[in-house]
Structure 1
Amino acid sequence: MDRFLQKQMDSLQLPGLSIAFINKGKIVYHRALGVADIKTKAPVDEQSIFEAASLSKAVFAYWVMKMVDQGLLNLDAPLYKYLPYPDIAQDERYKLITARMVLSHQSGFPNWRFFTADSSLHVKQGALYLNSKPGTSFGYSGEGFLYLGKVVAHLLNQSLQNMEPVFEKEVAISLHMAHSSFTSNPYILKHKVRGHQDGHIDPANGLNWPIIPSLQVDSNTFDPAASLHTNALDYAAFIIALMKDKGLSRNSIDEMLRPQLNVPIAEDFRKAGYSNWGLGIGIAQTPSGTVYLHSGNNGNFQSGFMMDKTRQLGYVFFTNCDQGNSFNEKLEAFLSLK
Structure 2
Amino acid sequence: MRGIERLVMRGAMVVAGFAAAPAFALCPEPAASAGGPDNAHTRYVESHLLPPVIRKGDTPVTLAERMRQYGVPGISVAVIHDGKLAWARGWGVRDVVSCKAVTPDTVFQSASISKVATAVLALRMVEQGKLGLDANIDDALRSWKLPADPALAPHGVTLRQLLSHTSGLGVHGFIGYMPGVPLPTPEQILGGVPPANTPAVRSVLPAGQTFEYSGGGYVVTQVALADAGGAPFAELERREVLGPLGMTRSAFAMPPSPELVANLAFGHENGSVVAGNYRVQPELAPAGLWTTAADLARLIMDIQASAQGKTGHRLSPAMTRQMLTAVKDNWGMGVAVYPSGPSRFMHDGVNVGYYVFMIAYADKGEGVVVLTNGGDRRIVADVVRAVATDYGWPDIAAPASEEKTLSLAEYAKAAGHFVGGGLDVVLEARPGGLYANAGAPVAERLVTLSARRFRSESLGITVEFTPDFSSFTMIEGSPPMKLVRMEAPASPVKKAT
TM-score by length of 2: 0.57
Q: Tell me the SS of whatever aligns to 1:17.
A: strand
Q: Tell me the SS of whatever aligns to 1:139.
A: coil
- Higher mean alpha-carbon deviation, 48-57 vs 123-132, is at 123-132
Q: Tell me the SS of whatever aligns to 1:312.
A: coil
Asked if 1:74 is matched to 2:132, the reply is yes
Shift of 1:31: 1.1
Q: Distance in 1 between matches of 2:236 and 2:364?
A: 32
The AA in structure 2 aligned to 1:2 is E
The match for 2:331 is 277
Aligned counterpart in structure 2 of residue 11 of structure 1, from 69, 80, 88: 69
The match for 1:267 is none
Aligned counterpart in structure 2 of residue 156 of structure 1, from 225, 229, 243: 229
Asked if 1:261 is matched to 2:328, the reply is yes
C-alpha distance 299-67 of structure 1, shift in aligned 2 (>3 A)? same
Pairing of 1:104-143 with structure 2 (within 5 A): 104-112=164-172, 126-143=199-216
Aligned counterpart in structure 1 of residue 374 of structure 2, from 316, 321, 327: 321
Q: Tell me the SS of whatever aligns to 2:299.
A: helix
Aligned counterpart in structure 2 of residue 243 of structure 1, from 294, 300, 304: 304
List per-residue Cα deviations over 1:269-303 (Å, max 9, x = no partner). Answer: xxxxxxx01110001256x5231110010031110
Q: Distance in 2 between matches of 1:298 and 1:114?
A: 8
List per-residue Cα deviations over 1:128-147 (Å, max 9, x = no partner). Answer: 33220111100001100000
Structure 1 residue runs without a partner (length 5+): 116-122, 212-216, 263-275
The match for 1:304 is 357
C-alpha distance 86-149 of structure 1, shift in aligned 2 (>3 A)? closer
Q: CA RMSD in A?
A: 2.4
The match for 1:179 is 249
C-alpha distance 85-110 of structure 1, shift in aligned 2 (>3 A)? farther
Q: Which has the higher helix share?
A: 1
Sequence identity percentage? 26
C-alpha contact 2:79 2:369 (8 A) present in aligned 1: yes
Q: Distance in 2 between matches of 1:40 and 1:60?
A: 33
The AA in structure 2 aligned to 1:50 is F
The AA in structure 1 aligned to 2:157 is I
C-alpha contact 1:113 1:127 (8 A) present in aligned 2: no
Give the total of aligned pairs.
Answer: 302
C-alpha distance 186-250 of structure 1, shift in aligned 2 (>3 A)? same
C-alpha contact 2:148 2:156 (8 A) present in aligned 1: no
C-alpha contact 1:15 1:37 (8 A) present in aligned 2: yes
The match for 2:444 is none
Aligned counterpart in structure 2 of residue 26 of structure 1, from 69, 84, 91: 84
Shift of 1:44: 1.2
C-alpha contact 2:171 2:201 (8 A) present in aligned 1: no
Q: Distance in 2 between matches of 1:113 and 1:311?
A: 32
C-alpha distance 259-111 of structure 1, shift in aligned 2 (>3 A)? same
List per-residue Cα deviations over 1:11-68 (Å, max 9, x = no partner). Answer: 2221111111111111213211110111221111122110000000011101111111
Q: Distance in 2 between matches of 1:322 and 1:88?
A: 38
Q: Tell me the SS of whatever aligns to 1:147.
A: helix
The AA in structure 2 aligned to 1:108 is G
The match for 1:224 is 285
C-alpha distance 174-194 of structure 1, shift in aligned 2 (>3 A)? same
- Higher mean alpha-carbon deviation, 6-15 vs 171-180, is at 6-15
Q: Distance in 2 between matches of 1:231 and 1:249?
A: 25
C-alpha distance 165-85 of structure 1, shift in aligned 2 (>3 A)? closer
C-alpha contact 1:113 1:128 (8 A) present in aligned 2: no
The match for 2:181 is none
Structure 2 residue runs without a partner (length 5+): 1-44, 50-62, 176-191, 307-312, 389-393, 399-497
C-alpha contact 1:281 1:292 (8 A) present in aligned 2: yes
C-alpha distance 304-82 of structure 1, shift in aligned 2 (>3 A)? same
Shift of 1:157: 1.8
C-alpha contact 2:172 2:214 (8 A) present in aligned 1: yes
Q: Tell me the SS of whatever aligns to 1:261.
A: coil
C-alpha contact 1:87 1:127 (8 A) present in aligned 2: no
Q: Distance in 2 between matches of 1:113 and 1:34?
A: 29
The match for 2:493 is none
C-alpha contact 1:87 1:128 (8 A) present in aligned 2: no
Q: Distance in 2 between matches of 1:209 and 1:126?
A: 18
C-alpha contact 1:299 1:322 (8 A) present in aligned 2: no
Shift of 1:209: 3.6
C-alpha distance 174-135 of structure 1, shift in aligned 2 (>3 A)? same
C-alpha contact 1:78 1:98 (8 A) present in aligned 2: yes
Shift of 1:179: 1.2
The AA in structure 1 aligned to 2:342 is G
C-alpha distance 283-112 of structure 1, shift in aligned 2 (>3 A)? closer
Q: Distance in 2 between matches of 1:314 and 1:235?
A: 11
The match for 1:290 is 343
C-alpha contact 1:113 1:129 (8 A) present in aligned 2: no
Pairing of 1:75-114 with structure 2 (within 5 A): 75-83=133-141, 88-89=146-147, 91-92=149-150, 93-94=152-153, 96-112=156-172
C-alpha contact 2:138 2:146 (8 A) present in aligned 1: no
